Amino acid sequence: MKLSQKLTAKTKLNQTLRSWLPILQASGDELKETLEPFLEKNPFAQLEPNPKSRSINFYNDLYKTSISDAIESNIIYKESLYEKLYNQIDDRLFPSQKSKEIANLIIESISDEGYFEWSDEKFANFSKEEVERVRARFAYLEPIGVGAVDYKESFIFQLNDLCDDDEIYRLCVEIIEDFENISKFTKRKNYDAAMSIIKKFKNPPAIEYMDSDILVIPDIFVYDNDGAIEVAVNDEFYPHINIDIDGVDEKSEFVSSKIKEAKDLIDALEMRKSTLYKIGLMIIEYQYDYFFGGDIKPMKLKDIADDLGRNPSTISRAIQNKFLSSKRGIVPLKNFFTAAAAKEVSNAAIKEFLLNLIKNENRLKPLSDEAILAMIESEFDIKLVRRTITKYRKMLNIASSSERKKLYAIQG
């Protein structure tokens, strides 16, 4: 009898887990479609909008609590093309106030497709030569290609980022400048290699920002409640499973099995919320300083899995395509699981230090990767290899020392 009870309990848990894992892995906007296959053959359960949910068109009724304030301000977020560009107008490429002013006006003159459109009114206080000198620096901003006057110039901007072979580069330029007669290039040496690069170009350059329907919905909120950091799960976008058994015989084997299936799904949704809530609490514990302006510290999936009594693969599923919202913005949960470069030093801390080195370097003699390596090893008392520094630099979209020297010369 005891063995039978244990097997029944284990079977129930396994059934719930089978439902739970895909539900856990689904992002907030995928929950409804993830649940639908489980319920499509269940006549007694229906998916309904969450009764706690409000219209996402910037709610008419404002909650008064601090968590609701956080939801109100952060529930819908997608970095726009213009935010992306404005955030890159810094001293590295635009050192003077005048260059920043021109750069901001250029951004205002960029179409939704990413092309620059001249305006006599906007640039009345500047010469065309001044504007063009500043606009040339947009070739080094992301998304690459934005700020060009037409697709050919956009392709040249993108080519600079994708090709480091001089011969192929020159052929690509020829093809771009004479696309109307592209057939005449087919027998040229390196034609296939050149076309392979050209096929990677984005046209229009801002195409990835043109879908305004893509939204980022935070799964976890971290907010300041009178000086205390607290966490809450955003359950307003969870669909509601309604079980309707009016007028049916609950003792029927078919009915009872379908009711059980629906309840297992409800349990799975609750397990999802519970797991995300616990992950949120552990992130606060491990990354407390981050929420007050500090760096993200090294944190492994195994650390949090051990603390929660879960398998690391389960935690990995839980953080995929999930986001956390705090006063520092909306970030993917996976960002908090930064790998350690060594000891207690995180990749994020090293990247921040590298950025500061570049920002303050001698423009007449930019720092080489070897020099940066030596400074980082001295600062953090760790051993790295040069290719690690090169990788971080490229991840941060920082040009090589020779390329930076050319950029600084352009800036004057």
Indicate the domain borders of the chain: 16-75+215-223+239-336, 81-209, 340-411
How confident is residue 239, by pLDDT bands cut at 50, 70 and 90? Answer: confident
Tens of pLDDT, residues 120-170: 888 999 999 999 999 999 999 989 999 999 888 999 999 988 888 889 999
**DSSP character for 313?**
H
User: Residue 169 has what pLDDT?
Assistant: 92
Q: What's the pLDDT score for residue 5?
A: 41
102-106, 158-162, 362-366, 387-391: least confidently modelled range: 387-391
pLDDT of residue 115: 92
- For the cut 80, the answer to whether the pLDDT of residue 272 exceeds it is yes
What percent of the chain is predicted at pLDDT more than 90? 18
3-state secondary structure of 69: helix
Tell which residue, 262, 279, 213, has the closest CA to residue 29.
Answer: 213
Average pLDDT, the chain: 79
Residue 2 pLDDT class (50, 70, 90 cuts)? very low
| pLDDT at res. 398 | 86
The whole-number pLDDT of residue 122 equals 85
Residue 61: pLDDT over 50: no
Whether 54 has a pLDDT exceeding 60, the answer reads no
Binned at pLDDT 50, 70 and 90, residue 298 comes out as confident
Residue 366, strand partner residues = none
d(C-alpha 255, C-alpha 259), whole Å: 6
Query: What is the spatial distance between Cα 336 and Cα 279, in angstroms, rounded to a whole number?
Result: 11
b/e sequence 177-194, b meaning 16+ C-beta within 10 Å? eeeeeeeebeeeebeeeb
Q: Looking at residues 256-268, what average pLDDT do you find?
A: 88
Report domain 340-411's class: mainly alpha
Q: Which residue has the higher pLDDT, 93 or 228?
A: 93
Prior bond of 239 cis (ω within 30°): no
Higher pLDDT among residues 351 and 80, named by residue: 351
Give residue 404's pLDDT.
87
pLDDT band at residue 344, thresholds of 50, 70 and 90?
Answer: low
pLDDT band at 76 (very low <50, low <70, confident <90, very high): very low
Q: Residue 231: pLDDT above 70?
A: yes
What is the model's pLDDT at position 69?
43
**What pLDDT is recorded for position 138?**
94
Question: What's the confidence (pLDDT) of residue 72?
Answer: 40
- Burial annotation 283-297 (CB, 10 A radius, 16+ → b, else e): bbebbeebbeeebbb
**Structure token pair of residue 272:** 């999802």
Residues 6+ apart with CB under 8 A from 32: 47, 239
Which tens digits make up the pLDDT trace of 30-50?
Answer: 788 888 888 888 888 888 877
CA distance linking residue 241 with residue 33, whole number of Å: 13
Q: What is the pLDDT of residues 353-383, one digit of tens each?
A: 898 899 888 888 899 988 999 898 888 777 7
Write down the pLDDT at residue 204.
85
User: pTM of the prediction?
Assistant: 0.48
For residue 287, the one-letter residue type is Q
pLDDT band at 252 (very low <50, low <70, confident <90, very high): confident
* Model pLDDT, residue 146: 94
Q: What is the DSSP letter of 221?
A: E
Over range 400-411, report the average pLDDT. 82
Confirm if 111 and 130 have CB atoms less than 8 A apart: no
397: which 2 tokens? 């979209």
* pLDDT of res. 19: 60
32-36, 73-77, 349-353: range with lowest mean pLDDT: 73-77
Residues 6+ apart with CB under 8 A from 361: 367, 404
Q: Which three-class secondary structure state does DSSP give residue 290?
A: helix
Contact at 8 Å (CB) between 63 and 71? yes
**Token pair 């049916």: residue:** 248
Residue with tokens 């799904």: 265
